[in-house]
Amino acid sequence: MAVIRTEGLTKYYGRARGILDLNLEVKAGEVFGFLGPNGAGKTTTIRIFLDLLRPTRGTALVLGMVPSRNSLAIRRRVGYLAGDVEHYGNLRGGDQLRYLAALRGGVDWSRVRALADRFILDLSRPIRSLSRGNRQKLSLVQAFMHRPELLILDEPTSGLDPLLQQEFRQLIRETAANGATVFLSSHIMQEVEALCDRVAIVREGKLTAVETIAGLRGRALRRVRVRFADPPPGVFPDLAGISGIQLDRNVLTAMLQGSPDQLIRRLAQCRVEDLVVEEPELEEVFMALYGGI
């Protein structure tokens, strides 16, 4: 079942581009990463899902409903953390959460306390006195407190220290294990790599890739270093997926894309002392795809 589905989703701001012909499907129970540089259209897409913006053309279904016709029904079932949350600075953290809980018809307050304890958040302090990181914690509690079916999170760990980023990741894993779906927009590549089942990459408003993490890595270049017992006979210029070959006496370095099958077959004809293949970091993959598309 698709929790989010778009077809030809497009948004213009006058003549300025927002998103163009976005076709996307997010499955129930998955953690789905939504990546792209600033201005790519990520926040525009999220705001359409929540009926904070209306599309110029195309369709979006969230939880099987059209946002413009069912915005309240969708919001009841969604936990949302915006990238630029505004809080009621004159309230205490707990007071704001009670107010938002009342708008929802009430939530289990023990759940709120458990989340606050988990993120080491003092709900008795005035919000205006909170640091950026503590305000972000408050936003996370608000997004998770009603146990939503779908979480839409825009840069959720901005301002959190590394230990609490780890706590957030564990909470996401538990949430997905309980059947909820997570739509995650993040610039922290380690976070995306650790959490996401699949990722979509957008550039200049257009969808450029939808892949598993392993699939993305498979499209990226890997560094290969081979040390031979003796200088190898000839070079390796005709192998599929091999580029940037450099041979210094008995050490060969190159870049590999795709299957290493042909390289391994060629190496089997030589006396190899050492072989190292460096897997790319997800950030390297993203930059390679972004720069090459």
Same domain, 99 and 228: no
Averaged pLDDT for residues 19-24 = 96
What angle is formed at CA 72 by the lines to CA 70 and CA 76, rounded to 5 degrees? 120
Range in 35-44, 66-75, 234-243 the model is least confident about:
234-243
Same domain, 169 and 44: yes
145, 178, 213 — which closes off a domain? 213
Same domain, 236 and 181: no
Same domain, 58 and 165: yes
Same domain, 21 and 94: yes
**Where residue 232 sits, what CATH number does that domain have?**
3.30.70
- Which DSSP symbol is given to 19? E
For residues 109, 115, 120, 124, the Cα torsion angle rounded to the nearest 10 degrees is: -20
Between CA 250 and CA 270 the distance in angstroms is 11
Tens-digit pLDDT profile for residues 258-292: 778 888 888 888 889 999 988 766 666 666 666 55
Give the number of C-alpha atoms closer than 13 A to the C-alpha of residue 50, restricted to the C-beta side. 19
Same domain, 64 and 152: yes
pLDDT of 18 above 90: yes
Domain boundaries, position 241: 220-292
- How many structural domains compose the chain? 2
Cα–Cα distances in angstroms (integers) from residue 148 to residues 80, 95, 130, 176, 193, in the given order:
9, 21, 26, 11, 23
Closest to 46 in 3D by CA, of 191, 152, 162, 155? 152
Give me the pLDDT at residue 164, please. Answer: 92
Same domain, 150 and 253: no
Give me the pLDDT at residue 128, please. Answer: 95
Same domain, 185 and 260: no
Name the pTM for this structure: 0.81
**Where residue 76 sits, what CATH number does that domain have?**
3.40.50.300
Same domain, 170 and 243: no
177, 194, 213 — which closes off a domain? 213
